[in-house]
Chains A and B, each alone.
Chain A
Amino acid sequence: MHNFYLRNKNRILAGIGLLIGLAIWEVIGRLGLSPAFPPVTDVLGAVVEVWTSSRFLDALKESMISVALALPPSIVFGVIVGVLMGRYRAVEWALDPLVNVFLSLPLVALIPVLFLIFGLGRGSILATIVIYTFFIVVVNTAVGVQTTDERVVEMARSFGANERQIVRRVVLPSALPLMFAGVRIAAGRAVRGVIIAEQVIGLIGLGGLVQRLGGAFAVENLYAVILFVGLLGLVTMESVAFAERRALPWVASPDDSGAALQGA
C-alpha cells in the first residue's frame, strides 16, 4: 500500500488537487454566487448531452476539416523552407527577418485583415491556421538543421560520405527532434488558430459554438464545449509527443521529477 502510494504519488496528488478544485467550484455553484459558476455536477451532466448532440458533432466536424485541410500542407512546406534555411546561408539571410517578424507579432491581429481578403468563410480560417503554424515549423526545422554537430558531419566526411548522404544520414536525423517539437507546437497552435478564427466569425465550428453558447448564457453547455476543446488541444499535442517518442527513441525526454530546493 505504501509502495503503491510512492510509485503513484504524483498521480494521486493530482487527483486530490482536482477533487479540491471541483469541490470548491461545486460549493460556489450551489451558493449561486455567479451565473458563470453553475454547480460542477450540472456541468458534468451537460457534458454527455452536449458531446453527443448533433449541433456539437457538426461543429466538431467543421473544425476538424479546417485543421485537416490547412495543417498538413503547412507542415510540409514549413519543413521544406526550414531545411533550405538551415542549409543555405543566402536563404537564411533572406527569410530570417520575415520569420522573426511573424514569430514576434500578435498573429491574431491579422485575422481582421484575413477576413477582409478571404471573406467570412473557410478560406479565412484556413489562412489563420497556416499563419499560426507555418513559421513555427520553419524556424524549428532551420535551427535543427543548423545545430547539426559539425564533428559528426566531419566524421561522415572522413568515411567518404557525399553531400547527399550527409544530409540524409546525418543532418536530417539530427534535426528530427526539433522538427518534431515544431510540429508539436504547430498542432497546438492549429487548434488555437481554428478556434479563434471561428469565434470571430461566430457561426461555424467549435469556436462559433462557444460564441453562440456564451451569447445565450448557456453556461453549462459552454463549459462542456470548453472542456472538450481543452482536451482536444491536450490530446493533439500528446499524440504528436507520443509519435515523437516512438520515432526518436534515442532522444532522452527531460527528467521532470523533483524540485530544486527539495530537502534544503
Chain B
Amino acid sequence: MVGTEQNTVSEPGVGGRSPGRVRRGPSTSDLARWSVSLGSVAAVLLIWELYGRAQETSLFFVPFSGVVAALWELGQTAEFWDAARQTMIPFVWGWVLSLVVGIGLGLLIGTYPMIEALTKPYVTFLNALPVSTLVPVAVILLGIGYSSRILIVFLFGVIEVTLNTAAGVRYVDRDLIEMGRAFNAPRWRLFRRVVLPAASPGIMAGVRIGTGRAVVGMVVVEILLVAVGMGRLILRYRGRFQSAELYAVVLALILFGILLQVVARQVERRVSRWKSEVEGNT
C-alpha cells in the first residue's frame, strides 16, 4: 500500500470525478449551492475580520482587510517583486527538473518490473521521509546558493511524479497492450500510441501533485534556509512585529500555490477527459 494515493482522495476535486460515485439526485439548483458556498466563505472572512478588529491591541492577529491592504501595499514595492523573483528562479528550475526526471523514472519503473524492484527501497523510503529533513544535507552538499534551493524543490516534487507515473503505466489496461501486440505493433509505436496515452491520466496526476509538493519545497526553502527571497521578508516582518505584512507575504505564497494547483488541475482535466467520460458512462 505504500505508493501513490490513487485509490484515495488526497486532492480536492478528485472526489467528484471518482468512478462509481453515485450522485444523490440531480443538483436541485446550482444557485442554492453557490449561495451556500459563497455565504460560508463570506462568513469565515467576516468572522476573521470581526475577531481581528476585536483583538486590536494584539500584535499577532490581523483582520482580513488589514492583510489585503498590506498585500496591496507590498505589491507596489520593487522589493516585494525582487524577493518574488529570488524565490521563483530556483523554484522553476527544481520544479521542471522534478517533472522531467520524475516522468522519465516513472516510465522506466512502470515498464520494467526489474527496475521497479531494484529501486523499490529508495522510492519507498523517500516517499515516507519528510523531505524537509534533507534540507541540512542539501546545504552541506551545495551550500546555500541557488543549487541547493533547486535540489530541495526537486526532492520535494520528484517522488510523487515518479510514483504516479509508474502507477499510470503499470495499470494500463492489459487488453489494450494485447490488442496492440495482436496488430503486430513495434514496441516503440505501441508505447507511443497505446501505453503513453493510456498512462497519461496517471502522469498528469503526478504532475499536479508533484507541482503542489514543489511549491511546498519552495516555501520550506524560504523558511528554513538563510533567507534571501520571500523568506527574508517573513523574517524581517516577524522581527519587527509587522504582522499585517507577514500575513500578506504568506497570503501571496498561498495564492501562488493555489493558482498553480488550479492551472495543473485544468490541464489534467483536459488530458484525462477521455477517462472520466468513459467512467461516467459505465
By a CB distance below 8 angstroms, the chain B residues around A234 are: 2, 124-125, 128
A108-B220, A254-B7 known; A237+B2 contact, CB < 8 A: yes
B37 touches A104 (CB 8 A): no
By a CB distance below 8 angstroms, the chain A residues around B220 are: 108, 196
| A-B interface contact total, Cβ < 8 Å | 245
A196-B130, A256-B3 known; A140+B117 contact, CB < 8 A: no
A117-B60, A233-B129 known; A106+B1 contact, CB < 8 A: no
* Residue from B40, B60, B133 with most neighbouring chain A CB atoms (10 Å): B133
Task: Determine which of B24, B118, B180, B257 lies in contact with A16 in the assembled complex, contact meaning CB atoms within 8 Å.
Answer: B118
A101-B258, A256-B3 known; A147+B22 contact, CB < 8 A: yes
B253 touches A109 (CB 8 A): yes
Binds A, one of B92-100, B166-174, B274-282: B166-174
- Nearest B residue to A110 via CB reads B250
Task: Determine which of B114, B130, B254 lies in contact with A191 in the assembled complex, contact meaning CB atoms within 8 Å.
Answer: B130
A122 within 8 Å of B by Cβ? no
A264 touches B136 (CB 8 A): no
In chain B, positions 202-231 with a C-beta closer than 8 Å to chain A are 212, 215-216, 218-220, 223-224
By a CB distance below 8 angstroms, the chain B residues around A253 are: 1
B37 touches A97 (CB 8 A): yes
Question: Shortest Cβ distance from A14 into chain B, in angstroms?
Answer: 5
Question: Shortest Cβ distance from A83 into chain B, in angstroms?
Answer: 14
By a CB distance below 8 angstroms, the chain B residues around A142 are: 15
By a CB distance below 8 angstroms, the chain A residues around B216 are: 106-108
Question: Shortest Cβ distance from A15 into chain B, in angstroms?
Answer: 8
By a CB distance below 8 angstroms, the chain A residues around B50 are: none
A260 touches B117 (CB 8 A): no
> In the bound complex, how far is the Cα of B124 from the Cα of A37, in angstroms?
21
B125 touches A104 (CB 8 A): no
- Nearest A residue to B38 via CB reads A97
B26 within 8 Å of A by Cβ? no
Q: Mark A4-46, 1 if CB is under 8 A from B, else 0.
A: 0000011001101110110000000000001111000000000
Overall SS of chain B's interface: helix
By a CB distance below 8 angstroms, the chain B residues around A77 are: none
* Residue from B128, B137, B177 with most neighbouring chain A CB atoms (10 Å): B128
In chain B, positions 131-146 with a C-beta closer than 8 Å to chain A are 132-137, 139-141
> In the bound complex, how far is the Cα of B14 from the Cα of A94, in angstroms?
18
> In the bound complex, how far is the Cα of B238 from the Cα of A28, in angstroms?
42
By a CB distance below 8 angstroms, the chain B residues around A156 are: none
Binds B, one of A53-61, A67-75, A208-216: A208-216
B61 within 8 Å of A by Cβ? yes
A13 touches B36 (CB 8 A): no
> In the bound complex, how far is the Cα of B212 from the Cα of A230, in angstroms?
21
> In the bound complex, how far is the Cα of B96 from the Cα of A103, in angstroms?
22
A52 within 8 Å of B by Cβ? no
> In the bound complex, how far is the Cα of B172 from the Cα of A97, in angstroms?
33
What would 7 more interface pairs be, CB under 8 Å, given A93-B33, A104-B257, A182-B8?
A13-B114, A16-B118, A105-B254, A110-B254, A112-B246, A230-B126, A258-B170
29 residue pairs from A and B, CB less than 8 Å apart: A9-B117, A14-B117, A14-B120, A17-B120, A99-B12, A104-B11, A104-B261, A105-B261, A106-B257, A108-B219, A112-B223, A112-B238, A116-B60, A146-B15, A146-B21, A146-B24, A147-B18, A195-B133, A196-B130, A196-B132, A222-B137, A225-B133, A237-B1, A244-B1, A259-B170, A260-B111, A260-B171, A262-B113, A264-B181
Question: Which residues does B use to contact A, with CB under 8 Å?
Answer: 1-3, 5, 7-15, 18, 20-22, 24, 32-33, 36-37, 39-41, 44, 60-61, 110-114, 116-122, 124-126, 128-130, 132-137, 139-141, 169-172, 174, 177, 180-181, 187, 190-191, 195, 199, 212, 215-216, 218-220, 223-224, 234, 238, 243, 246-247, 250, 253-254, 257-258, 261-262
